[in-house]
Amino acid sequence: SAVEQAKRLAAVQAVSEHFSTNFKYVGIGSGSTVKYVVEAIAASLAKAFPAASTRPSDTRSTSATSAYDIQFVPTGYQSRQSILDCGLTPLLFDHLPNDVILDVAFDGADEVDDDLNCIKGGGACLFQEKLVIEKAKKFVCVADYRKAQSRLLTVWPSIPIEVAPIASHIVLMALENLGSVKPAVRAGVPAKSGPLRTDQAFYIIDAPFPTLLLRSDIQGPDDGNGKNGRWEVSRLSEAIKNITGVLEVGIFSGYDGYETEKLGLGKGGQKP
Ligand code: DER
């Protein structure tokens, strides 16, 4: 399909521009687009080091061990599985040496705005995704054209928030006080009655809000703080994070001092 082709194109371009076979630690996010990133990385390693086997345990004996000196840090169960499925070596986040910074972290997004702020959490892995991204020198967001919108919550309807189950009711009320309409705990799958559980066994609350403003939209010192439903991206993120019981918010703000760069592919992969 055109969407799968666009995901694959974005992944191949992201890897060719931001992956090096000399890297030591690479963060791998969750979702279907990042699977193409892992496949492109595995292909790049196989091309650069044809002698190295594809099974990490065999590679210590090959000359090109640098191919598999690279360790891939997953952001949850599915992310770890996609690393293993491509014959690469996972290293769990809590096994990382404290002083290590990842060379790069690749991850998807549910929506990305003009300033490269992201909504993440459609796959309910946002907490470990944010841990890994903040441990990396660079966060490369890989997303097809459907995700690119001028402002957040244009197409994606709500902000995913990871909460402690015991606190879910008070977080729902606090979100309504911030202006969310009908925030709800994300249901699980039919095979398991009750709410979805994250890899931390927490709940996800999806909180609808009006379209979020960019910094450049703000019309004065007290604009963008929720008055008249006008929230600026990083101010809403901070307000939600401050609610007792919230573990993490699915807003990844490019305003947090990161330099941002858009590779930009138009529909179906043509340059815009
Ligand atoms: O949960 C997330 O933030 C993921 O990045 C995810 O929603 C993107 O998923 P996709 O690549 O399958 O669209």
- The CA 29 to ligand 1 mean position distance, Å, reads 8
Q: What are the residue ranges in the chain where pLDDT is below 50?
A: 55-67, 264-272
Q: How far is the C-alpha of 237 from the C-alpha of 162, rounded, in Å? A: 13
Buried b (16+ CB within 10 A) or exposed e, 212-233: bbbeeeeeeeebbebeeebbbb
Number of Cβ within a 10 Å radius of residue 52: 21
How much is the pLDDT for 192? 85
How much is the pLDDT for 256? 62
Q: How far is the C-alpha of 109 from the C-alpha of 122, rounded, in Å? A: 8
Ligand 1 atom with the shortest distance to the CA of 120: 3
- The CA 34 to ligand 1 mean position distance, Å, reads 8
- The CA 109 to ligand 1 mean position distance, Å, reads 5
This complex has an ipTM of: 0.97
Radius of gyration of the chain (CA): 19
Three-state DSSP at 71 gives strand
Number of Cβ within a 10 Å radius of residue 84: 14
Q: Is 27 in the pocket of ligand 1 (CB under 6 A)?
A: no
Q: How far is the C-alpha of 79 from the C-alpha of 72, rounded, in Å? A: 10
Q: How far is the C-alpha of 155 from the C-alpha of 141, rounded, in Å? A: 18
Residues forming the active site: 129
How much is the pLDDT for 260? 58
- Total-model pTM: 0.90
Ligand 1 atom with the shortest distance to the CA of 107: 5
Q: Is 107 in the pocket of ligand 1 (CB under 6 A)?
A: yes
